[in-house]
Amino acid sequence: MAVEYHFGQTGIAFEDVLDLYRASTLGERRPIEDHARMQQMWTSANLAVTAWEEGLLVGLARSLTDHTYCTYMSDLAVRVSHQRQGIGRELIRLTRAAAPDATLILLAAPKAVDYYPRLGFSRHESAWILRPSDELAPV
């Protein structure tokens, strides 16, 4: 069956988004029980690409971008039942096409560490994170 791809969040039921997170295993690393937070995460993304098969949301790429320097892909989710069919690759291609001059940046889920190099991504050794629970060190 053909997969259709669309840009934007308009007209997508939020329950479909949550269902996809659960079905892709990405929900294991996202606050899916905090619906208000997930809703804000979804609607605040300024670049979203979705994949559909016969009305079923089978994949999504959720990103923040300035469209010229950097695009941070915060989520790439494909239903386990639809993985290994090129859907993730196409979601990445379309995200990149929407901001072709921007560097695409992401943090890989532990299970996907070997996936991204196969697509041409290179490891960046100087990425750093400061979690909400981490204190900013004093000067």
End-to-end alpha-carbon separation of the chain, Å?
Answer: 58
pLDDT, one tens digit per residue, over 87-98 is 999 999 999 999
The answer to whether 93 touches 3, Cβ cutoff 8 Å, is no
Question: pTM (2 decimals)?
Answer: 0.92
Burial class (CB in 10 A: 0-12, 13-18, 19+), 45: buried
Distance CA 2, CA 53 (A): 6
pLDDT, one tens digit per residue, over 17-72 is 999 999 998 888 999 999 999 999 999 999 999 999 999 999 999 999 999 999 99
H or E segment and range at residue 52: strand 47-53
Between these two residues, 115 and 6, which has the higher pLDDT value?
A: 6
3-state secondary structure of 26: helix
- What's the pLDDT at 83? 95
Torsion sign, CA atoms 21, 110, 34, 67:
negative
Going from the N-terminus, what domains does the chain have, and what CATH number goes with each? 4-118 (3.40.630.30)
Query: Stretch 109-130: mean pLDDT, rounded?
Result: 88
- What's the pLDDT at 27? 87
Q: What percentage of the chain reaches a pLDDT higher than 70? A: 100
